[in-house]
Amino acid sequence: MAAPLTLLLIVAVTIRAVLFRSSWAELISERVEVVSPLNAWKRVVEGLALLDLGVSPYSGDVFHETPFMIYLFHFVVDYAEIVFMVSPGLVFCLSRFLTSLYLFRKQKYALESDRYPADCLELLRSPKEMFYIPLKVAMFYLLNPFTILSCVAKSTCGLNNAIIALFILCTLKGSALLSGILLALATYQSIYPLTLFAPALLFFLQRLYIPVNLRRSSFWFFTLQYAFIYVGSLVVITGLSFFLLGSWDFIPSVYGFIFSVPDLTPNIGLFWYFFAEMFEHFRLFFICVFQINVFFYTIPLSIKLKEHPVFLIFMQIAIISIFKSYPTVGDVALYMAFLPAWSHLYRFLRNIFLVSCVLLACSALFPVLWHLWIYAGSANSNFYYAITLLFNFGQILLVSDYFYAYLRREHHLTHGLYLKKKDGTEATLVLK
Amino acid sequence: RGLLTRLNTPICIVCYLAAIVWFMGLAFEPFTLRTDMSENAMGSTMVLLRGASAVPRQGVRSSQKTGAVSTWLVKAMQSRGLEVFTQSFSRKLPFPDENKERYMVRGTNVYGILRAPRAPRTEALVISAPCSPGDSNNQAVGLLLALAQYFRNQVYWAKDIIFLVNEHDLMGTQAWLEAYHHTNITGMEYSPLQGRGGSIQAALSLELSSDVITSLDLILDGLNGQLPNLDLANLFYAFCQKLGVLCTIQGKLQRNDWDTAEGYTHAAQTMMLMVLKQACGRSWGDHGLFLRYHIEAASVRGINSFRHYKTDAATIGRLLEGMVRKLNNLLERLHQSYFFYLLPSLSRFVSIGCYMPAFGLLVVILLLRALDLWVHLGAPALAAVEGVTEAQQPSGPAVLTVLTPVVISHLTGVALYLLPVHLQEMAVEHFPVSETEAVVLTAVAIYTTGLALPHNTQRLLSGEGTEQGWKVLKLTALLYLAVLLGCTALINFSLGFVLAVTLVPITASMTPHMPKALSALVMVLLSPAFTILYCVFIYQELIEAPVSVSEGWMLFLSVISQGILDHALYGSLVYPLLALFIYPCWLMFWNILFWS
């Protein structure tokens, strides 16, 4: 197991090192699909320059990273490439632990297989299959072209991904304190991971065998404890940032920027075209509608998936990367790394062929239509937005397909694989 | 879905035929749209034309004998009251260009700027005329000077007008444009421009090949199949109508009898010519390079086709004056009309919405086959689930068997792209051929070697290929080809369509279980190289200069060398596309045929 992992790591690092040195790096770091105004390296450099001159990096409208990030790079700017190399490495380590941990949990299911009807045995994974899953997760993340592009462009998105990955790792390891702190850090970086609070809490409750029951004091006790860790570290981090910079400039410049979406540079998300076309006085209303989208799904999903917090984390990350205001391909890569962990759902997926075709075609069409629009001048923004829509449609289809497959598998686990209707014909399941 | 799987083959055949019929139907007049001026600034009023004549062509001719065209031009332009500047450039071609007999190129561009008296000088128009020693474009240069003199005395110019006389046709234009926009894409050496106008809005290039002009030909196809806004063609057509000048496109006059068989054939031929010219991705006139900089441009070429009807230089001058004045009235860049179109005649066009279905039907075939394969690949897995407990799972070695041919094919493609130019010296030393021949023949040799390579190495590396192996490979290759053709067709519809027509039938039907010899022959006959060969023959047939097989072969070789040169000099994308993507993709299917 160690040998292929090392090999994989070497291959991944080689690809990145070669690309860093090639002339493509500059081209890639200009692509709007890969970098967003939030995480472009160019802007970080600008912020650093301002900081060195003793000016607040948030004066002007260029820099939108958090103060921690800029101080991090203040010390390691000469080794920036190495930092960006390491960040996927972190995710890589995580992926190992993540899957192995999660799967050992799953194995318990296998031991308890007498709980399930006999014909469901094939739905449970054999240890041999699970053995390879960490390798696959690592491969999916490290060799994913999206991750490679994002890393070569030195998008700080890779670091955010690493933080989220560490958070998941700590959660699965069962350390509530570290998990809360890292979640606060992730929230501090880009707000949206806020929605991961619910799955993390559910996971700990499940782990400690505390039932989700509003009348039980143990439930409230733990919830408050976890919320306190989370909110407390968030306050501490924000306070620290204030002391580092000596002003609250970063609040409007980072979080205001994320929420009110003033930068309408085209990207792979849904915001830019819509708000470029919008009448100005409806802007506030629609911003609320669009932003609530990200947070809204947390409640119904948490209720539906309260027994399966790890899958809920996956769903949340996917939803964030689809609906956030400045998405890049790096965000997409993060949730795609989870897909091999659900390989047991494969047989229940219905649209996987369609989805992969759509995602593949869209990834190829993005640069082509960008060329036609910006350089050749023969197409226009509508063409590009059409592809953006299609890409997001593909992502949503992918996520909902996995959701459906997960629920269906759970149903089969309790009711048997080959369902019969009352009259003996084969039944079909309908998602309600 | 069940229906699609059962009727897959008939549906594919129907799609293919429908695509061909649809495409041929595009030339039929009732299906096309009438061209109409969409830009308001150019449409509502006709400008009053007074005309410029008195062409000083003698001077150009006499100074050419002494070889001092540029100094004479500078003087001539200065005497007409323009701000005159020169720019020198030089470029060593990667290998000698045998068609134009040049290798080390050195030249001078001369341009004069007429400053706009009525507006801030933020925008400009360009009128250019190529002029090379020994070239017979003197008429155009003379006309250009006459226009400059006439324009100088008018007061209504709101945009700077730049009169550019460029040497060594496209290379001069390239050097000038790169200097104007401060870019250097192709590694040309040039001196910086001393004087500049505003951002260029539109450009017209003028080529008059003889003293007697009977008709004017409009050339639109630019680099990589890019086309200017249709309004530019409309403008030209409108003025030709007004002034009673015979105008052609692709050298074909327009006919009015669309309902007869001849009329339809004529329109179809015109459209086919446009498709072929666009597909080869080179710039067919000096205007082609302007398009890359988001400048709407077209070439106007005077043709002497020995008709009775003659057009004098004054009329052409009036025509150009009219076009420039209309362009001068523009408030913003041309954007109202279409950018993607095909022209079966000057007054009729086919828009992107009409021709894309033809291409779409071809790509749908690839997707249908891929879907079919997907279902077949899934079926055994399901069967296994029903029988035994173990579920099917894609293992490591299966990925490897697919990856190996893909990588090898692409390496062959990279060799085809890099080696010909780099190996020319070695080839010239060892074989009795010239540099150009060396390049082309190396390309052909690598192409042919590629046919032998993949299936041998594949056998060597992974031993026995499985039934599932080739299906996965074919699925990959089909999706790859579909995406590739789709992207190509968006940038250059004609190229995508021509490739799709030849590649789709073989790729859709290829399996290892077919008779080897016969299907190998069919595959080779429909390979990308043979597609180029057919295009050469069809093109020659369409311009009514049919060639014999050996002449055709020579032309084919020169087309390849031109393609490589176009890529090196102007950044045309057709050669890298074919070498790095289409050819490897075709090799994958070749690999499937010999799957053992």
ipTM of the complex: 0.84
For residue A255, the 8-state DSSP code is I
Q: Answer yes or no: is pLDDT of B503 > 70.
A: yes
Q: N- to C-terminal Cα distance for chain A? A: 42
Banded model confidence at residue B43, pLDDT cuts 50, 70, 90? low
Higher pLDDT, B121 or B539: B539
User: Mean of the per-residue pLDDT values for chain B?
Assistant: 80
CB contact under 8 A, B389 and A379: no
- Report d(CA B406, CA B364) in Å as an integer: 23
Q: How is residue B257 written in tokens?
A: 């009898």
Q: Packing angle between helix A176-190 and helix A67-76, nearest 10 degrees?
A: 90
Ramachandran region, residue B348 (left: φ > 0; alpha: ψ -120 to 50; beta: rest): beta
Between B463 and B10, the more confident residue is B10
Is the model's pLDDT at A136 over the cut of 80? Answer: no
Question: Other CB atoms closer than 10 Å to residue B542's CB: what's the count?
Answer: 19
Which residues fall within 8 angstroms of residue A15, CB to CB, at 6 or more apart? A143, A148
Rounded-to-integer distance, Cα B368 and Cα B354, Å: 22
The larger pLDDT score, comparing residue A391 to residue B452, is at A391
The model's pLDDT over B514-558, given as tens digits with 9 standing for 90+, comes to: 787 888 888 888 888 888 888 888 888 888 877 888 888 888 888
| Residues B420, B430: Cα–Cα separation, whole Å | 15
The Cα–Cα gap between B217 and B132 comes to: 21
From the CA of A365, how many Å to the nearest CA of chain B? 6
Interface of B with A in 272-331 (CB under 8 A): 291-292, 294
In whole angstroms, what separates CA B446 from the centre of its chain?
A: 25
Report pLDDT for A231: 92
Whether the pLDDT of residue A14 is over 90: the answer is no
pLDDT of res. A390:
93
Residue whose pair of structure tokens reads 């041919």 in the numeric block: B405
pLDDT, mean of residues A334-345: 80
Beta strands, E only, A10-63: none
CA-nearest residue to B226 within chain A is A376
Contacts of B340 in chain A (CB under 8 A): 378
Each residue of B487-500: pLDDT tens digit? 999 888 899 999 99
Closest residue of chain B to A371, computed from CA coordinates = B491
Residues 389-418 of B with CB under 8 A from A: 389-391, 393
Count of residues for chain B? 596
Q: Do the chains contact at A347 and B385, CB–CB below 8 Å?
A: yes
Residue A274 burial (10 A CB sphere; 0-12, 13-18, 19+): middle
User: Can you name the residues that pair with B189 across neighbouring β-strands?
Assistant: B90
Partner residue opposite B393 with nearest CB, options A129, A357, A378: A129
Helices and strands counted in chain B (H then E): 21, 12
Is A200's pLDDT higher than 50? yes
Tell whether the model's pLDDT for residue B87 goes beyond 70. Answer: yes
A65 pLDDT higher than 70? yes
**CA–CA separation, B249 and B218 (whole Å):** 5
How confident is residue B391, by pLDDT bands cut at 50, 70 and 90?
very low
Question: How many interface pairs between A and B have CB atoms less than 8 angstroms apart?
Answer: 53
Sign of CA dihedral B11, B16, B19, B20: negative
pLDDT in tens, B249-306: 887 887 777 778 888 888 888 888 999 999 888 888 888 888 888 888 999 888 877 6
Let me know: does B392 contact B381? Beta carbons within 8 Å.
yes
B381: chain A residues, CB-CB within 8 Å? 347
CA dihedral sign of residues B75, B76, B77, B80? positive
- Three-state secondary structure call for residue B306: coil
Cβ-nearest to B483 among A129, A343, A361: A361
Chain A interface mutation, best of B229, B231, B278, B294, highest count of A Cβ atoms under 10 Å? B294
Enumerate the residues of chain B whose CB falls inside 8 A of the CB of residue A365: 486-487, 490
Q: Is A220 helix (H, G, I), strand (E, B) or coil?
A: helix
The answer to whether the CB atoms of A361 and B227 lie below 8 A apart is no
pLDDT, position B385: 42
Set of chain A residues whose Cβ sits within 8 Å of the Cβ of B367: 357
pLDDT at B24: 86
Q: What is the rounded distance in angstroms from the CA atom of residue B171 to the CA atom of residue B179?
A: 12
Residue B339 confidence (pLDDT): 85
User: The sheet that has B33-34: what strands, in order across it?
Assistant: B33-34, B348-351, B341-345
pLDDT for the residue A26: 82
Which of B5, B393, B472 to probe by mutation at the A interface, max A CB count within 10 Å? B393
CA A310 to centroid of chain Cα atoms: 13
Summarised one tens digit per residue, pLDDT across range B402-444 is 777 888 888 888 888 888 877 777 777 777 777 777 888 888 8
Radius of gyration of chain B (CA): 27
| Residues B171-226 pLDDT 10s | 888 889 888 888 887 778 888 888 888 888 899 998 887 777 888 889 888 888 88
- What would the two tokens of residue B420 be? 């010909």
Residue written as token pair 């991090």: A72
DSSP annotation string for B448-494: HHHHHHHHHHHHHHH-SPPHHHHHHHHHHHHHHHHHHHHHHHHH-HH
The DSSP 8-state label assigned to residue B581 in this structure reads I
Range among A122-131, A383-392, B372-381 with highest mean pLDDT value:
A383-392
pLDDT at B44: 46
pLDDT interval class at A112 (50, 70, 90): very low
Structure token pair of residue B487: 């992207």
Nearest residue to B141 via CA among B80, B93, B232, B192: B80
- Cβ contacts of B484 on chain A, cutoff 8 Å: 364
> Average pLDDT for residues B33-61, to the nearest whole number?
59
Alpha helices in A153-282 (DSSP H): 157-173, 176-190, 197-207, 217-245, 250, 257-260, 271-277
- Choose the mutation target among A353, A359, A371 for the interface with B, i.e. most B CBs under 10 Å: A353
- The residue-averaged pLDDT of A205-215 equals 78
- Is pLDDT of B392 > 50? no
- The single-letter code of the amino acid at A30 is E
pLDDT bucket at B566, cuts 50 / 70 / 90: confident
CB atoms within 10 A of CB A205: 20
CA B137 to chain centre: 24
SS3 state of residue B247: strand
Q: Which of B390, B484, B491 sits opposite A372 (nearest CB)?
A: B491
Reported as a pLDDT band with limits 50, 70 and 90, residue B6 is confident
- Measured N-to-C along each axis, helices A217-245 and A176-190 cross at an angle, to the nearest 10 degrees, of 50
Nearest to B212 by CA among B303, B104, B295, B131: B303
- What are the backbone angles phi and psi of residue A268, rounded to the nearest 5°? -85, 10
User: Looking at beta carbons, which residues of chain B come within 8 Å of A376?
Assistant: 226, 291-292, 294, 339, 491
User: How far, in Å, CA of B584 to CA of B590, rounded?
Assistant: 9
Q: CB-based contact (8 Å) between B379 and chain A?
A: no
CB atoms within 10 A of CB A236: 12
Output the six-digit token pair for B22: 């649809």
Q: What does the pLDDT read at residue A397?
A: 92
Q: Which residues contact B557 (CB under 8 A, 6 or more apart)?
A: B437, B440, B441, B444
Query: What does DSSP say about strands B102-114 and B83-97: parallel, antiparallel, or unpaired?
Result: antiparallel
Q: What percent of chain B has pLDDT over 90?
A: 4
Compute the nearest-CA separation of A361 from chain B (Å).
6
Q: Which chain B residues are Cβ-neighbours of A372 within 8 angstroms?
A: 490-491
Which position has the token pair 């439930």?
Answer: A219
In this structure, the number of other CB atoms found within 10 A of the CB of residue B191 comes to: 14
Q: Between vectors from CA A35 to CA A31 and to CA A39, what angle results, nearest 5°?
A: 155
What pLDDT is attached to residue B380? 56
A52, two tokens: 């060195």
Report residue B176 as tokens: 């000038």
Q: Nearest-CA distance from B189 to chain A in Å?
A: 21
Do B339 and A364 lie within an 8 Å CB cutoff? no
Query: Exposed e or buried b for every residue in B359-387, given b needs 16+ CB within 10 A?
Result: bebbbbbbbbbbbbbbeebeeeeeeeeee
H or E stretch at B199: strand B199-208
What gap in Å lies between CA B141 and CA B159, rounded to an integer? 21
DSSP per position, B146-196: HHHHHHHT-S---SEEEEEEESTHHHHHHHHHHHHTT--SS--EEPPPS--
Number of alpha carbons in the 13 Å side-chain half-sphere of residue A417 = 12
Q: Residue A122: which of B370, B391, B487 has the nearest Cβ?
A: B391
CA–CA separation, B364 vs B486, rounded Å? Answer: 11
SS (H, E, C) A305-350: CCCCHHHHHHHHHHHHHHHCCCCCHHHHHHHHCCHHHHHHHHHHCC
Element (H, E) at B360: helix B352-387
Nearest of A92, A307, A106, A66 to residue A193 by alpha carbon: A66
What does the pLDDT read at residue A127? Answer: 57
pLDDT at residue B265, rounded to an integer: 87
Rg (CA), chain A: 22
Burial of A349 (0-12, 13-18, 19+ CB in 10 A): middle
**Amino acid at position B313, single letter:** A
From the CB of residue B411, how many other CB atoms can be counted at a distance below 10 Å?
A: 15
| pLDDT of amino acid A114 | 46
Per-residue confidence (pLDDT) for residue A394, from 0 to 100: 93
- Return the sign of the alpha-carbon dihedral for residues B555, B558, B564, B566: negative
**What residues in A contact B374, CB-CB < 8 Å?**
353
